[in-house]
């Protein structure tokens, strides 16, 4: 296979962790006989500094001409003014819109070797294997809003959803559940919010009509926040609107012990030349400016995001599984980055951990 992959390293630790994911992809291409071409673009704070825009037109064109996009992270203290007219996060929202990405997939599956990395009791974590599907283009992040002024000190954001938006993300989540354990938990706040009452009604109607074989459960968001800590293994696929999904997935990252372990995929309806969704793949963690440049960031979430890229945008399931198995092998061998170093056989930096995954990949394929 020949594939073009856009790489947007971004800010903070983004360039460090994406470099390791690219090395893993290059190793996959060499071992399996694929040719991956990488094109690099600016996004976020680095793009503001270089061009004045968090999302330069050249970056949009690069991504639209690629089969998939690998992203590091955006943001940092030098761009943190929430009242600034131009902010790094606008670039992230902009590229999602430009590529028509409406669903964010965030798997949470614990490596057996890391059951003790979390602050949650190992017996509670045993068997956790869930997928959170977060709607990306609607809700309070995109609804009508007003900033406060010194005159009135009133501000508002609007949680706005339409039936088509809810239907398409529900359909994607239900299809994922059908391929897993056949269970879907839809999260809302229907006891208070009108948009959540629409969400619940549309989800119920679509599931009844198109996915009668998938078990549907409705869960209020505050209850789900509790259940994720109390009994996370009970859930298979969790569907949530934009804001709720954003918060719950950060909470779920603590099940694994570190945000440096969890990948994500953002998918849309547009297909690339391989007949697969042109997705954007990124770790769920931020730019971590406090450790940027120190070579200690955990690259595993980005490497696992590259595995999702292989699976969802290139249709290379065996290759994706090989990368995931290599990560599991490294962790089983007791190799750790500082964020998960408790009980480690050896603590590695960013580049050394990436190299260890490549070695594990080589070992498994020889």
Which residues form the catalytic set? 141, 189, 222, 246, 250
In the numeric block, the tokens 């003790």 are attached to: 116
Q: What is the 3-state secondary structure (H, E, C) of the chain?
A: CEEEEEEEEECCCHHHHHHHHHHHHHHHHHHHCCEEEEEECCCCHHHHHHHCCCCCHHHHHHHHCCCEEEEEECCCHHHCCCCCCCCHHHHHHHHHHHCCEEEEEEEEECCHHHCCCCCCCHHHHCCCEEEEEEECCCHHHCCCEECCCCCCCCCEECCCCCHHHHHHHHHHHHHHHHCCCCEEEEEECCCCCHHHHHHHHHHHHHHHHHCCCCEEEEEEHHHHHHHHHHCHHHCCEEEECHHHHHHHHHHHHCCCCCHHHCEEEEEECCECCCCCECCEEEECCCCCCCCCCCCCCCCHHHHHHHHHHHHHCCCCHHHHHHHHHHHHHHHHCCEECHHHCCCCCEECCHHHHHHHHHHHHHHHHC
CA distance 75 to 71: 13
Q: How far is CA 30 from CA 2, 36, 262, 303, 351, in A?
A: 12, 9, 25, 16, 19
């Amino acid at each position: 296979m020949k594939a073009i992959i856009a790489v947007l390293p971004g800010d903070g630790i983004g360039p460090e962790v994406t470099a390791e994911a690219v090395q893993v992809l290059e190793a996959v291409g060499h071992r399996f006989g694929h040719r991956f071409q990488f094109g690099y673009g600016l996004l976020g704070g680095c793009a503001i500094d270089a061009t004045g825009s968090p999302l330069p037109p050249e970056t949009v064109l690069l991504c639209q001409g690629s089969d998939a996009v690998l992203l590091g992270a955006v943001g940092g203290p030098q761009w943190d003014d929430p009242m600034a007219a131009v902010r790094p996060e606008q670039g992230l929202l902009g590229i999602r819109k430009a590529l028509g990405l409406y669903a964010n997939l965030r798997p949470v599956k614990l490596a057996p070797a890391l059951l003790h990395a979390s602050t949650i009791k190992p017996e509670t974590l045993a068997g956790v294997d869930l997928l959170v599907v977060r709607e990306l283009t609607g809700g309070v992040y995109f609804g009508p809003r007003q900033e406060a002024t010194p005159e009135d000190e009133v501000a508002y954001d609007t949680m706005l959803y339409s039936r088509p938006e809810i239907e398409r993300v529900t359909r994607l989540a239900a299809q994922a559940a059908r391929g897993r354990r056949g269970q879907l938990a839809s999260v809302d706040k229907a006891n208070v919010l009108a948009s959540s009452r629409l969400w619940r009604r549309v989800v119920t109607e679509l599931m009844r009509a198109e996915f009668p074989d998938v078990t549907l459960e409705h869960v209020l968001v505050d209850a789900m926040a509790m259940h994720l800590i109390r009994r996370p293994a009970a859930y298979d696929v969790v569907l949530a609107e934009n804001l709720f999904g954003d918060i719950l997935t950060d909470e779920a990252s603590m099940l694994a012990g570190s945000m440096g372990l969890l990948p994500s995929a953002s998918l849309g309806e547009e297909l690339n030349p391989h007949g697969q969704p042109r997705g954007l793949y990124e770790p769920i963690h931020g730019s971590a400016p406090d450790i940027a440049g120190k070579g200690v960031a955990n690259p595993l979430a980005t490497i696992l995001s590259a595995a999702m890229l292989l699976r969802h945008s290139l249709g290379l399931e065996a290759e994706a599984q090989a990368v995931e198995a290599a990560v599991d092998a490294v962790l089983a061998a007791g190799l750790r980055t500082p964020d998960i170093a408790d009980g480690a056989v050896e603590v590695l930096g960013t580049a050394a951990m990436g190299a260890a995954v490549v070695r594990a990949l080589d070992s498994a394929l020889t």
